Amino acid sequence: MINRERLLAEFFELTRIDSPTKHERQIADLLKNRLSSIGMLVTEDEVGQVIGGNCGNVFAYLKGDLPEAPVLLLSAHMDTVEPCHNVEPVLQDGLITSAGATILGADDISGIAPILEALRTIQEHGVSHGDIQVILNVAEEGGLNGSKNLDITHLKADLGFVLDADGEPGAIIVAAPGQDRINVTIKGRAAHAGVAPEAGINAIVLAAKAMASIQLGRIDEETTSNIGTIQGGLATNIVAEKVEITCEARSRNLGKLEKQTAHMCDAFRRCAEEAGAIAEINVKRLYAPFTLAEESQVVDLALQAARDAGLKAVLGATGGGSDANFYNVYGIPCAVLGTGMQKFHTTEEFIKEENLYRTAKYVVEIIKAAAKVKK
């Protein structure tokens, strides 16, 4: 049923469009036209104005002929990470890569292109279906800011799927972590490092002591933490008065997330106070974790569709966030599906050509499976 030639050509076309985070206007306009040509009602929210971008989230709605079926959400994100300018996709021996100097953009064009192809396929073959909502988000990279700030009055779906994971088609992510961003500023006291070092309080040294006492890396199977950046000091002959540190904590368990974040904050605060310095700490919850029960309707639907598509269904958890984190918060049970993209966020990113076709077939089977259930 899938038109392979059309899907491959569209994947190549979309990856060639520059779409860095907060600069998705060009690809959004093209996709809005494509969705309209499929017969969908297309709108755009004003998230771009909220986050300082040039584009909002794209919403598209297709009426079905089965009003008793649940409204199905299909979602992917339009932005790509740097270096993403002048991408030139290359197909060789069944693998699609970039020419080498850029990322490929399979994250997340490998979600968008199969959604478009699946929608065309069901129309061309007269497949009965319920209502379908497509949401293409901006600014997913770097904090899920598109879905975090979207206008929830646009949401119509009962359940859904985000195509944005690196597993083979058939991989179904049913649990993902929440993330806390921790910004720390330690303020000590400046002094001449050669004349009167004892008069100073070195903020960099205090930060180092704190970090040495923090549990970092993999804490357990569902919890991680990391020190991301550290910046401070003016010169070697000045005792560093100030240092700024950015950190994160993640966990699929909300209680563990809060415990790890508190542990990290306490370490910075304690080391500063013991030396007579000040630790200013700001914690921001970027997104909450989610877990879907294996017996839930959305997971059951995904499993059935994988079988119908001839795919090996594998339920799993991830250490990364996606727009599904916010859809679940908004009350739409939403799983994340693997598209087969590999080594994303690097210039070695690639995807098997066959996985594009398998993903599109999977989406068709999801639409067909959703048509067989009741709201």
Of residues 374 and 183, more confidently modeled: 183
Cα angle 177, 181, 186; round to 5: 150
Of residues 39 and 143, more confidently modeled: 39
Q: What is the pLDDT of residue 102?
A: 97
Q: What is the pLDDT of residue 148?
A: 96
Give the SS3 label for residue 293: coil
Residues 295-318 pLDDT 10s: 999 999 999 999 999 999 999 999
Give the SS3 label for residue 226: strand
Sign of CA dihedral 38, 39, 40, 44: positive
Q: Which of 45, 79, 166, 180 is catalytic?
A: 79
CATH architecture of 4-176+289-370: 3-Layer(aba) Sandwich (3.40)
CATH number of 179-287: 3.30.70.360
Task: Write out the E strands in 107-240.
Answer: 132-137, 159-165, 171-176, 178-187, 217-220, 223-232
Residues 314-356 pLDDT 10s: 999 999 999 999 999 999 999 999 999 999 999 999 999 999 9
Closest CA to 326 of 114, 115, 155: 155
Structure token digits, residue 322: 């996606």
Q: Which of 140, 164, 241, 365 is catalytic?
A: 140
Give the chain's mean pLDDT.
96
Q: How far is CA 57 from CA 44, 45, 89, 160, 327, in A?
A: 6, 6, 26, 17, 13
Report domain extents, the chain: 4-176+289-370, 179-287
Q: pLDDT confidence of 278, banded at 50, 70, 90? A: very high
Q: pLDDT confidence of 1, banded at 50, 70, 90? A: confident
pLDDT at position 143 over 90 = no
pLDDT at position 374 over 90 = no
Q: How far is CA 15 from CA 103, 128, 354, in A?
A: 9, 31, 17
Q: Helices 297-308 and 353-370: crossing angle, nearest 10°?
A: 120
Q: What is the pLDDT of residue 100?
A: 84
Catalytic residue flag (residue 79) = yes
Same topology for domains 4-176+289-370 and 179-287, yes or no? no
Sign of CA dihedral 28, 32, 34, 40: positive
Which residues touch 148 (CB under 8 Å, ≥6 apart)? 286, 287, 326
Determine the Cα–Cα distance for residues 270 and 282; give it in Å rounded to an integer: 15
Determine the Cα–Cα distance for residues 201 and 346; give it in Å rounded to an integer: 40
Q: What is the mean pLDDT of residues 56-72?
A: 97
Residue found under tokens 């994988």: 306
Residue found under tokens 């950015």: 246
Catalytic residue flag (residue 140) = yes
Determine the Cα–Cα distance for residues 110 and 349; give it in Å rounded to an integer: 12
Q: pLDDT confidence of 142, banded at 50, 70, 90? A: confident
Determine the Cα–Cα distance for residues 129 and 61; give it in Å rounded to an integer: 13
Task: Say if CB 240 and CB 227 are below 8 A apart.
Answer: no
Residues 215-271 pLDDT 10s: 999 999 999 999 999 999 999 999 999 999 999 999 999 999 999 999 999 999 999
Can you give the length of the chain in residues? Answer: 375
For residue 83, whether the previous peptide bond is cis, meaning omega lies within 30 degrees of 0, is yes
Please tell me whether the overall predicted TM-score, pTM, comes out greater than 0.95 for this model: no
Pairing between β-strand 159-165 and β-strand 72-77 as defined by DSSP bridges: parallel
CA 373 to chain centre: 29
Q: pLDDT confidence of 32, banded at 50, 70, 90? A: very high
Residue 55 identity = C
